[in-house]
Structure 1
């Protein structure tokens, strides 16, 4: 049993949790000292008296209990003088209070119980020398519970902002990926990964991470940082009217010879070689433009018994016996047609230019319709329309003889006129 016992505790970690030797005062909202001498029965045993201390208490001999306890200026008892008649020398014996020792010069020096190992601290505690005594405490990172120094789990009380690793008497803080530890060794700061340019195109810093973005025409690869070209041509076959060519970050449309790319960048427009003069026709020929190309038409030459009556018409006179079974006139016309054009489609109009009283007209395809792609639909007594009934794939040239038969039963007359229609079918559907 110790002669002088002192129990000290470290400060509490939370407002309502106090360590041994203190109690939480709700009114003052803090931990205050507990007077163990009043609350503990038989705090000191034997002839020891109890003296309350901040966070603990002292046990002193009762012979010294009534004396003022001033550790800084240890009190010395009054010298005792002996009676000379008793035969004792005229001297006195000084004495020191508990915790001090008499020095050669007659002064009382403090005894360092910690250095002399004369203390009674628990092996888990640390001895701290005081004037006339000592205290048992715990090192930093430990607190006193039930007379034992137990490790404080700093991680439990949120000492670290992010990651915490507890250790005996200590702890260490670390940060999640994307953060770095601040100089206070507790809080974490976001790392701006974009400063290291991890993305091949654009970078956007986020809290604890970053995001990469790509320029238009590119997409993010599986690694999340690299941008790869986007093949727009693979999205749809209708992106370009003719052919799509992928380029880094974009695409371009190209058109076949005889066409140019329209203002929309995707459609193909016919290049009119006849208007621009970009053709090989002679001055004697006539340049005829069609979709995707052109042709040079030679001057009209009427085969006998036909004679030329205009630049595009041949006539066979009724007075000529050789013309008896032939059409009265042959009119030459030219037109172009897109390959694969949707059907049915009205493509050509034919009508009588001269009308006779009592006459009626019959319209028909006399020749050239071997594949039965066309038929004539009469629209009135004097007119008819040529109808495309089946799609035609080009490039192809079709020559149709469209006949208009004139019948007059009053005068017993029957005659015919022919339009020789040459159709240039383009190679492409535009």
Structure 2
């Protein structure tokens, strides 16, 4: 009886092995026969005429950004995202030329002439200046100063071959005839500006008898070349008045006292300040999906910028780094999460682990601009964490 039972058990085990082998073969055959789900993509987009396109991937949830060349304004959507149905969000962008004369810049009856990224005013006879804002002077010449004795002097005269020859010192010009002429100061500041010559000073020009000097605005110092201005770093020189708990940020011509604060707690999401310029999220409950999708870190950054900085230019880089012994993300997504002047910026990937915030439209100062950039980490297409960088730009009133 034992031998019979043992034989039946052996045959039963063999049958199970054969059955498992057949099921495995059948499963492999079905897996190979099943068609793979097609990858959804959107049709290719082109840069608008007189504009540029940022972004080359057309898969679902990928974004493409658009901007216009100087002298043109963007109409339509500056950012379009590929949707799950294979179409692009937003409207097709186009670049329209900006009319420099549309704001009627010429005053006092002047006529505006359109040019490439600029305009020119034809002024009536009694008006002058870039926008016909100054009343023209016929006598004495605009570059002469006759009410101050230092700006006029007697010429140096000599008898040469029965004729009197008179000359003026450098920086003066002869006004009148040789018999009763007077050497009057030449206002280099106005002459160079009027004749379209090279700019004598980066900021302002002060006329002196026979010469000139350059001056800088408050918060700047004149450099050794006598014409350029350099910002004074009040923070490093301890010339600020920031109180305890705040940090000094040097800006063009001054400084700002800042006190970054973590956002208040909302539900299960709360933050703790780990450095003067960074907050980290407290541990989340396992079941709180909203907490896990909130930014894991929030960092604060402050950048001084000159006015009318040439665009496009990179301003800020955001990257990730894996902790020792732990695999890092294999995919990153960058985006602009908020701010008060989003149309001036785009975010694009510079390499596999780095994204760049790029200024695509110049900013005219003085003004303060905020823009928030987020970075999401994915591993095997599964969301891991999000990081938020809150960037504040202090745009100076000057172009230096």
TM-score w.r.t. the length of structure 2 is 0.54
Query: CA contact under 8 A between 2:376 and 2:383: conserved in structure 1?
Result: no
Deviations 1:214-249 (A, max 9, x none): 112111113233100101011234211111121221
Query: CA contact under 8 A between 2:308 and 2:399: conserved in structure 1?
Result: yes
The alpha carbon displacement at 1:203 in A equals 2.5
Query: CA contact under 8 A between 1:317 and 1:323: conserved in structure 2?
Result: no
The alpha carbon displacement at 1:400 in A equals 1.3
Q: Distance in 2 between matches of 1:265 and 1:358?
A: 53
Equivalent in the alignment of 1:313: 278
1:241 to 188, 193, 202: 202
Equivalent in the alignment of 1:5: none
The alpha carbon displacement at 1:300 in A equals 4.3
Deviations 1:140-177 (A, max 9, x none): xxxxxxxxxxxxxxxxxxxxxxxxxxxxxxxxxxxxxx
Unaligned runs of 5+ in 2: 1-152, 194-198
1:203 and 2:203 aligned: no
| Aligned CA-pair RMSD | 2.1
1:425 and 2:381 aligned: no
1:382 to 328, 333, 353: 353
Equivalent in the alignment of 2:298: 330
The alpha carbon displacement at 1:392 in A equals 0.4
The alpha carbon displacement at 1:384 in A equals 1.5
3-state SS of paired residue (2:343): coil
3-state SS of paired residue (1:275): coil
The alpha carbon displacement at 1:370 in A equals 3.6
Q: Distance in 1 between matches of 2:163 and 2:192?
A: 36
Q: Distance in 2 between matches of 1:206 and 1:274?
A: 64
Bigger radius of gyration among the two: 1
The alpha carbon displacement at 1:299 in A equals 5.9
3-state SS of paired residue (1:235): helix
The within-5 A match list for 1:242-391 is 242-298=203-259, 300-301=261-262, 303-304=264-265, 305-320=270-285, 321=288, 323-354=291-322, 356-357=327-328, 359-368=330-339, 370-391=341-362
The within-5 A match list for 1:152-231 is 200-224=154-178, 225-231=181-187
Distance verdict in 2 for CA 1:358–1:280, change over 3 Å:
closer
Equivalent in the alignment of 1:25: none
Query: CA contact under 8 A between 1:221 and 1:227: conserved in structure 2?
Result: yes
Query: CA contact under 8 A between 1:284 and 1:299: conserved in structure 2?
Result: no
Distance verdict in 2 for CA 1:367–1:417, change over 3 Å:
same
Q: Distance in 2 between matches of 1:315 and 1:324?
A: 12
The alpha carbon displacement at 1:279 in A equals 2.0
The structure, 1 or 2, with the larger RCO (C-alpha pairs under 8 Å, 6+ apart) is: 2
1:409 and 2:380 aligned: yes
More helix by share: 2
Q: Distance in 1 between matches of 2:262 and 2:332?
A: 28
- Figure out how many residues of one structure are paired with residues of the other and give that number: 231
3-state SS of paired residue (2:189): helix
Q: Distance in 2 between matches of 1:348 and 1:223?
A: 64
Distance verdict in 2 for CA 1:299–1:331, change over 3 Å:
closer
Query: CA contact under 8 A between 1:318 and 1:328: conserved in structure 2?
Result: no
3-state SS of paired residue (1:354): coil
3-state SS of paired residue (1:323): helix
Query: CA contact under 8 A between 1:341 and 1:429: conserved in structure 2?
Result: yes
Q: Where does structure 1 differ by over 4 angstroms across 4 or more consecutive aligned residues? A: 299-302
Distance verdict in 2 for CA 1:363–1:250, change over 3 Å:
same
Q: Distance in 2 between matches of 1:312 and 1:278?
A: 22
Q: Distance in 2 between matches of 1:221 and 1:333?
A: 59
The alpha carbon displacement at 1:211 in A equals 1.5
Distance verdict in 2 for CA 1:269–1:358, change over 3 Å:
closer
Q: Distance in 2 between matches of 1:397 and 1:278?
A: 22
